[in-house]
Structure 1
Amino acid sequence: MVLEKFKGIFPAFYACYDELGEISEERTKDLCQHLFEKKVHGLYVGGSSGECIYQTLEERKATLKYVSDNLKGKLTLIAHVGAPSTRDSITLAKYAAELGYDALSAIPPIYFKLPESSIYKYWTDIMEAAELPFIIYNIPQTTGYSLSINLFKKLLENPKVIGVKNSSMPVLDIERFKAEGGENFIVFNGPDEQYVSGRLIGADSGIGGTYGAMPELFLLAEEYVSTGNFNKARSIQRDINDIIIALCSLNGSMYSVIKEVLKLKGVNIGSVREPLEPVTGEDLTKIKGIKEMIDNAILKYGR
Structure 2
Amino acid sequence: MSDIEKFKGIIVAFYACYNEEGDVDPVRVRKLARHYADKGVRGLYVGGSSGEGMLQTAAERKVVLEAVMEEVGSELTIIAHIGAASTRESVELARHAEAVGADAISAVPAIYYRLSPASVERHWQEMIDSTSLPFIIYHIPQTTGFNLSTDLLAKMAAQDKVIGVKISSESTYELQQFKAVGGPDFLVLNGPDEQYLAGRSIGADGGIGGTYGVMPELFLKVESCYREGKVEEAREWQFRINEIIKNLLSFPSLYGACKAVLKLQGVECGEPRLPLLPVPPADKGRIVLLQKQIHEYTEEAMSSVKA
The TM-score, its normalising length taken from structure 2, stands at: 0.97
2:117 alignment counterpart: 116
Q: Determine the C-alpha separation between the residues in 1 that align with 2:241 and 2:49.
A: 20
Q: Which runs of 4+ in 1 moved over 4 A?
A: none
Q: Give the counterpart letter for 2:132 in structure 1.
A: E
Q: Determine the C-alpha separation between the residues in 2 that align with 1:195 and 1:157.
A: 27
For the pair 1:182 / 2:168, whether they are aligned, the reply is no
Q: For each residue in 1:217-244, what CA deviation from the matched residue of structure 2 results, as whole angstroms up to 9, or x when unmatched?
A: 0001100111110001110010000000
* TM-fit CA distance, 1:301: 2.8
* TM-fit CA distance, 1:281: 2.3
Q: Give the counterpart letter for 2:280 in structure 1.
A: T
Structure 2 unpaired stretches of 5+: none
Q: How do residues 23-38 of structure 1 correspond to structure 2 at under 5 angstroms?
A: 23-38=24-39
2:48 alignment counterpart: 47
Q: For each residue in 1:125-174, what CA deviation from the matched residue of structure 2 results, as whole angstroms up to 9, or x when unmatched?
A: 10001110000000001001111001001101211100100000000111
Q: For each residue in 1:189-243, what CA deviation from the matched residue of structure 2 results, as whole angstroms up to 9, or x when unmatched?
A: 0000000000000000100010010000000110011111000111001000000
Other structure's SS at 1:65 match: helix
Q: Determine the C-alpha separation between the residues in 2 that align with 1:13 and 1:298.
A: 20
2:71 alignment counterpart: 70
Alignment root-mean-square deviation, CA: 0.9
Is contact 2:142–2:169 with CA below 8 Å preserved after alignment? yes
For the pair 1:106 / 2:107, whether they are aligned, the reply is yes
Q: Determine the C-alpha separation between the residues in 1 that align with 2:253 and 2:297.
A: 23
1:269 alignment counterpart: 269
Other structure's SS at 1:50 match: coil
Other structure's SS at 1:132 match: coil
Q: Determine the C-alpha separation between the residues in 1 that align with 2:51 and 2:98.
A: 19
* TM-fit CA distance, 1:71: 1.1
Other structure's SS at 2:50 match: helix
Q: Give the counterpart letter for 1:228 in structure 2.
A: G
Q: Determine the C-alpha separation between the residues in 2 that align with 1:27 and 1:126.
A: 29
2:205 alignment counterpart: 204
Other structure's SS at 1:49 match: coil
Q: For each residue in 1:40-86, what CA deviation from the matched residue of structure 2 results, as whole angstroms up to 9, or x when unmatched?
A: 01000000000111111111111011101111121000000000000
Q: Determine the C-alpha separation between the residues in 1 that align with 2:40 and 2:17.
A: 20
For the pair 1:258 / 2:258, whether they are aligned, the reply is yes
* Percent of residue pairs bearing the same amino acid type: 49
Q: Give the counterpart letter for 1:255 in structure 2.
A: Y
Provide closer, same or farther for how the CA distance between residues 105 and 300 of structure 1 changes in structure 2, counting only shifts above 3 A.
Answer: same
Q: Give the counterpart letter for 2:214 in structure 1.
A: A
Q: Determine the C-alpha separation between the residues in 1 that align with 2:36 and 2:179.
A: 28
Other structure's SS at 1:145 match: coil
2:133 alignment counterpart: 132
Q: Determine the C-alpha separation between the residues in 1 that align with 2:290 and 2:108.
A: 30
* TM-fit CA distance, 1:284: 1.3
For the pair 1:281 / 2:281, whether they are aligned, the reply is yes
Q: Determine the C-alpha separation between the residues in 2 that align with 1:32 and 1:63.
A: 10
Q: Determine the C-alpha separation between the residues in 2 that align with 1:19 and 1:301.
A: 34
Q: Determine the C-alpha separation between the residues in 1 that align with 2:104 and 2:155.
A: 20
Q: Give the counterpart letter for 1:168 in structure 2.
A: S
Q: For each residue in 1:221-275, what CA deviation from the matched residue of structure 2 results, as whole angstroms up to 9, or x when unmatched?
A: 100111110001110010000000001112x211111111111111011110000
Q: Give the counterpart letter for 1:10 in structure 2.
A: I
For the pair 1:294 / 2:294, whether they are aligned, the reply is yes
Other structure's SS at 2:220 match: helix
Other structure's SS at 1:207 match: strand
Is contact 2:217–2:302 with CA below 8 Å preserved after alignment? no
Is contact 2:7–2:43 with CA below 8 Å preserved after alignment? yes
Q: Determine the C-alpha separation between the residues in 2 that align with 1:41 and 1:34.
A: 13
Q: Determine the C-alpha separation between the residues in 1 that align with 2:175 and 2:210.
A: 18
Q: For each residue in 1:19-51, what CA deviation from the matched residue of structure 2 results, as whole angstroms up to 9, or x when unmatched?
A: 110000110011011001001010000000001
Matched length:
302
1:230 alignment counterpart: 231
Structure 1 unpaired stretches of 5+: none
2:4 alignment counterpart: 3
Is contact 2:214–2:262 with CA below 8 Å preserved after alignment? yes
Q: Give the counterpart letter for 1:283 in structure 2.
A: D
Q: Determine the C-alpha separation between the residues in 2 that align with 1:39 and 1:56.
A: 30
